[in-house]
Amino acid sequence: MAASCTQRPALQSNSSEQNRFMEKLMAKILRFYDQQSLIDVTFKVSNPTAVVPAHRLILAAASPYFENLFKGKQGNNPVIEINYIDSDTFERLITFCYTGEAPITVNNVGAMLKAAIVLQLDDAINSCVDCIMKNITERSIQVAYVLERETQCERLKQKLIEYEIKNFMEISRRVEFLNFDVEKLQHILESDNLNITREEDAYDAIKRWFNYDVPAHQEQLPILIACLRLTQFDADFLLTHIQPLPGCELLAFKAISWIREPAARTKINMRFTEPRVTCEKTFLVFGSTEMNHKLLQYNKAEDKWQKYASLKIDYTDFTMKFSNDNLILIGGYKNGATLNIVRSWNIRNKTWQNLPAMNQARRSHLTAELDGKIYAIGGLEGNKVLSSVERYTPSDGWEFVSSFIFPKSFGRAVTLNNKIYVLGGRNGFGDLKLVECYNPDSNTWTSCADMTECRVSPCVRVHKGHIYVLEKYSAKQSSQSVERYDPERNTWSKICCLNAEWARIENVFSFDNKLWSFGHPKHDDISSVSVYDEDNDRWVKKCSLPNVDRYTYNIVPVALLSSK
């Protein structure tokens, strides 16, 4: 009895000699195949009729299908009929058994894949799937979906899911997406590598899928909403968008509790509490010194700021809005004239685009974004204080909505509970502590309770269902007055000062579940960044920004920033 190969000593002690031996062996086998020498089986294949000679040992080693075939009843027959694979495809795959290669093309890949699955040629299956994915186009992906359903090929299914995860924004807008089953969608949405720039992109895709067939999808909706990184939304979004969805009330409640009660997080069962890899966020800062403008990005790992881009802007007093992938400059002032121009700079591609101009020229105005619409509010036209408000949508351009109750400029606007709140500012009578609220559903403005102090261009932040306001510049140079608005009670209350060491606070952000402040300390002119240590009730200095005249801050997905 022959000894097992595993019991024999190595053929050669030198690996290069082993390789030469195997190359000579394979060359000899291929020569036997080309010359049809020592053939011990012939296949008779139809469509069109052809005979394909081969060696049993080679085929059995290449495929469990052939191994089992030759061990069966007809295995000793010199001629074996194959009626379920066309002759051209069958001959290509027999060649593959010898060489590990086959002429797979876009035109024959469907037939090759189906036959390779029947013949249990895993490597040929992989080659077919690679060919399909390498040549994916908007048209061919439909063919790939059909082929995956017909063959139930697990590798093709997995590769398509990987493609859908990588190209989610494009795929989610196609008709095919609306017919994805819930298991497939769940697999995609659970991925940490889902290629989106913000979690709202995944939510929007789920809503499109849900609205396409509400009766059929309603029961499955909570399964998909649970795949979202709900803790990355703010409480306002959860209340207005997630909580009203059928079956999603508890999911919204748990996420809101997790956000608002950090001490209780260990007791709250949340599937996902960290952002996706592609949704990791960072600070992007727009800084200006006279006519020099630049964007700086924060490198969290190295705790330092890096230049992202320089922008050429030859006018001033514009209002800036970060919207999705774009930095939008609205209005402004140049050579004594107030402007109505609107320009958009794409953060990812670093390119400019002109948008439709506003109906009214504005400077020192307020801006807000609500439900994908951008609002330009009040401001100045020349020296005239404006009360007009207009709203931009890509489909309709700019259109006027209801005007303010009181004209104003140099205020601040925030969104909360699907409404816009405008706070403070200045008009012809002086500084203001007025607060007005705009309801887009009724297109009306209403007066809210006044702030406790007049504030011009204050820092304003929505946090845990309240509006926090602090003076941007402290007259006393010793503390920062902070007050908080409760929209349910329509009341203001003073809270502890932000930090007695700061002379000027530029902005405050909630980021990484912590409170970050940007501003100028009393003792130098470097704009510094600090993070609030809640446990020890103190501010910890993180890093410094180069000193410039002004900053505009925003939090953006890291994946949005171009590496070029």
Q: What is the pLDDT of residues 208-247, one digit of tens each?
A: 999 999 999 999 999 999 999 999 888 888 999 999 999 9
482 near 495, Cβ under 8 Å?
yes
Of the candidates 398, 428, 461, which is a domain's last residue?
461
In which residue are the tokens 């410094």 written?
544
pLDDT of res. 503: 40
Identify whether 356 is preceded by a cis peptide bond (ω within 30 of 0).
no
Of 508, 431, 504, which is closest to residue 473 (Cα–Cα)?
504
- Residue 256 sits in the same domain as residue 388: no
Report d(CA 513, CA 259) in Å as an integer.
Answer: 8
Number of domains, the chain? 3
Percent of the chain topping pLDDT 90: 46
Report d(CA 430, CA 547) in Å as an integer.
Answer: 30
Mean pLDDT of 413-432: 90
Report d(CA 503, CA 507) in Å as an integer.
Answer: 13
- Residue 325 sits in the same domain as residue 450: yes
Report d(CA 123, CA 126) in Å as an integer.
Answer: 5
Report d(CA 364, CA 457) in Å as an integer.
Answer: 10
Helix (H) or strand (E) holding 502: strand 502-511
Q: Strand 419-423's sheet: what is its strand order? A: 412-416, 419-423, 435-439, 444-447
- Residue 260 sits in the same domain as residue 231: yes
Q: Is residue 424 part of a domain?
A: yes
Mean pLDDT of 429-458: 92
Report d(CA 85, CA 118) in Å as an integer.
Answer: 9
Burial (CB < 10 A; 0-12, 13-18, 19+), residue 216, is exposed
- Residue 136 sits in the same domain as residue 211: no
Q: Is residue 489 part of a domain?
A: no
97 near 55, Cβ under 8 Å?
no
Q: With a cut of 90, say whether residue 151 has pLDDT above it.
A: yes
- Rounded to two decimals, what is the model's pTM? 0.57
Question: H helices then E strands: how many in the chain?
Answer: 15, 31
Mean pLDDT of 500-514: 58
Q: With a cut of 90, say whether residue 421 has pLDDT above it.
A: yes
Tell me the pairing of strands 41-45 and 79-82. Answer: parallel
In which residue are the tokens 């209340």 written?
239
- Residue 157 sits in the same domain as residue 196: no
- Residue 341 sits in the same domain as residue 440: yes
388 near 400, Cβ under 8 Å?
yes
Q: Is residue 71 part of a domain?
A: yes
- Residue 417 sits in the same domain as residue 389: yes
Q: Is residue 90 part of a domain?
A: yes
Q: What is the mean pLDDT of the chain?
A: 85
pLDDT of res. 191: 93
pLDDT of res. 500: 44
pLDDT band with cut points at 50, 70 and 90 for residue 72: confident
Of the candidates 131, 162, 193, which is a domain's last residue?
162
Mean pLDDT of 490-494: 91
209 near 217, Cβ under 8 Å?
yes
How many Cα atoms within 13 Å fall on the side-chain side of residue 7? Answer: 4
Helix (H) or strand (E) holding 62: helix 56-62
Report d(CA 255, CA 343) in Å as an integer.
Answer: 37
- Residue 99 sits in the same domain as residue 198: no
**Poorest-confidence range of 36-45, 274-283, 338-347, 385-394?**
274-283
482 near 530, Cβ under 8 Å?
no
pLDDT of res. 230: 94
Of 228, 208, 206, 210, which is closest to residue 219 (Cα–Cα)?
210
- Residue 221 sits in the same domain as residue 338: no
Task: Determine the 3-state secondary structure of 81 from DSSP.
Answer: strand
- DSSP code, position 265: G
Structure tokens at 44: 């008779």
137 near 177, Cβ under 8 Å?
no
pLDDT of res. 181: 92
Q: What is the pLDDT of residues 99-133, one digit of tens each?
A: 888 899 999 999 999 999 999 999 999 999 999 99
CATH number at residue 262: 1.25.40.420
Residues sharing a CB contact under 8 Å with residue 523, sequence separation 6 or more, in sequence order: none
Q: Count of CB atoms within 10 A of residue 29's CB?
A: 16
**Poorest-confidence range of 39-53, 107-121, 278-292, 320-334?**
278-292
Report d(CA 516, CA 527) in Å as an integer.
Answer: 13
Structure tokens at 45: 């294949």
Q: What is the pLDDT of residues 153-203, one digit of tens each?
A: 999 999 999 999 988 988 998 888 999 999 999 999 999 989 887 888 899
445 near 402, Cβ under 8 Å?
yes
Q: Is residue 22 part of a domain?
A: no
Can you say how many angstroms the Cα of residue 91 is from the centroid of all Cα atoms in its chain?
A: 46
DSSP 138-167: TTHHHHHHHHHHHH--HHHHHHHHHHHHHT
Of the candidates 461, 479, 494, which is a domain's last residue?
461
410 near 364, Cβ under 8 Å?
yes
pLDDT band with cut points at 50, 70 and 90 for residue 290: low
Helices assigned H by DSSP within 226-366 = 235-237, 249-260
Report d(CA 506, CA 61) in Å as an integer.
Answer: 72
Residue range(s) defining the domain that contains residue 197? 177-267
CATH number at residue 384: 2.120.10.80
Of 229, 378, 348, which is closest to residue 284 (Cα–Cα)?
348
Q: Is residue 244 part of a domain?
A: yes
Q: What is the pLDDT of residues 203-215, one digit of tens each?
A: 999 999 999 999 9
CATH number at residue 92: 3.30.710.10
Residues sharing a CB contact under 8 Å with residue 227, sequence separation 6 or more, in sequence order: 186, 189, 190, 202, 271, 272
Q: What is the pLDDT of residues 359-407, one digit of tens each?
A: 999 999 999 998 888 999 999 999 899 999 999 998 889 999 999 899 9
Percent of the chain topping pLDDT 70: 85
- Residue 74 sits in the same domain as residue 204: no
Of 409, 505, 430, which is closest to residue 460 (Cα–Cα)?
505
Q: Count of CB atoms within 10 A of residue 159's CB?
A: 19
pLDDT of res. 512: 65
- Residue 158 sits in the same domain as residue 181: no
198 near 239, Cβ under 8 Å?
no
pLDDT of res. 176: 87
- Residue 151 sits in the same domain as residue 234: no
Mean pLDDT of 356-360: 97
